[in-house]
A and B are shown apart, each in its own frame.
Chain A
Amino acid sequence: MTGSDLVMYDNEFQKIDGELQRLHQQANANVVFLVDKNGQLIASAGDTHNIDTTSLASLTAGNIAATGGIARLLGEKEFTILFHEGEKDNIHISLIGQRIILVVIFDRRSSLGLVRLRVKKTSEVLGRIFDGITSKTEKEKVEGGKASESPFAEISDEDIDNLFK
């Protein structure tokens, strides 16, 4: 498999979750999401009950990918911030370290200025956490992984067949 897979353990997840919770509060946001650039939802904070988070993650990644395509056509490396303004809700999307997308949904109880300020601070922290995750994944790959604990070492054809029953 080319490129690096994203492998996240509980310890890192807790850190990320803590950061998102904090951002959710400090930015007075409705919902905060973290999405992999490939469209996988990583974590969320806030009121997600009425939102189809999986679809939102995939469409956000598509949005960032399309904007990235436009950027390259114009000779820009990337547009790192997208902002969509609606009648009630607004959505602020920003790219962290070329790999992770931070999405903040907010309404009139917050403001674009506040969201931008808080997102900037959170991005720095999250960037460091993900740098850690990436180097850890790479290291494990080189060392042949943690084979003894890996749940995948034992995958059998039968396991896979069972998925499709």
Chain B
Amino acid sequence: MSFINYSSREINCKIVYYGPGLCGKTTNLQFIYKKTNPEQKGKLISLATESERTLFFDFLPLALGEIRGFKVRFHLYTVPGQVFYAASRKLILKGVDGVIFVADSQIERMEANMESLEDLSINLAEQGYAIEKLSYAVQYNKRDLSRVAPVEEMNKLLNVNGVQWFEGVATTGVGVFETLKGVAKQVLLELKKHY
């Protein structure tokens, strides 16, 4: 649900990072925050526990620039990944324009990835969205670790619809902006279709 304001000539869109606990959603946001010019970003807000696990959400407003005289702003959110925060995760998907599913490439996290993806489909459906119709991309994160699953296998398990996917190392920023750009592009092209 984008917000298009002709008065202030702004387009606001919401992108949510989804994925299992400790897959690197917050790290994606932290890297974007670190690498963006101060005038382009607002505060990075993290509602986290004392042990730095996301409790409710992280939020980062980004003003990327202008398209045809309209300021384009993206509001980036992460969900809490841990299974027992299901109720909070659902709330954050409200009014979403695009979703980035961050998968943990470590072999032993594959089940957690699949569980989270299933949870995403269910929660989206509850809000009246279908994953196939949404602006959506997958990021295979933590590619720098030693025991990771091959991308082909991850695509088979987590990307049956063959959507855009990216390899990432969020801690060093590999693939972070590429993934964001991939989904942002889909969101803006979707707007073009409707308006």
A interface with B by C-beta (< 8 Å): 1-10, 12-14, 36-40, 42, 52, 54-55, 58-59, 62, 65-66, 68-69, 140-141, 145, 150-155, 157, 159-160, 162-164
Write the B1-45 contact mask toward A (1 if CB under 8 angstroms, else 0). 111111110001010000000000000000000000000001101
How close is B179's CB to chain A, nearest CB, in angstroms?
A: 11
Residues in B with CB closer than 8 Å to A59 are 45, 59
| Set B6, B12, B57: member contacting A10, Cβ < 8 A | B6
Task: Offer 17 A-B interface pairs, CB within 8 angstroms, sorted by A.
Answer: A1-B191, A2-B127, A2-B129, A5-B194, A5-B195, A6-B2, A8-B4, A9-B7, A38-B1, A38-B14, A55-B42, A152-B192, A152-B194, A152-B195, A153-B192, A155-B68, A157-B185
Residues in B with CB closer than 8 Å to A3 are 1, 95, 127-128
Confirm or deny: B190 has a beta carbon within 8 angstroms of a beta carbon on chain A. Answer: yes
Write the B61-97 contact mask toward A (1 if CB under 8 angstroms, else 0). 1001101111010010000000000011011101101
Q: Give CA–CA (A141, B129) in the complex, Å.
A: 18
- On whether the beta carbons of B195 and A163 are closer than 8 Å, the reply is no
Q: Give CA–CA (A128, B150) in the complex, Å.
A: 55
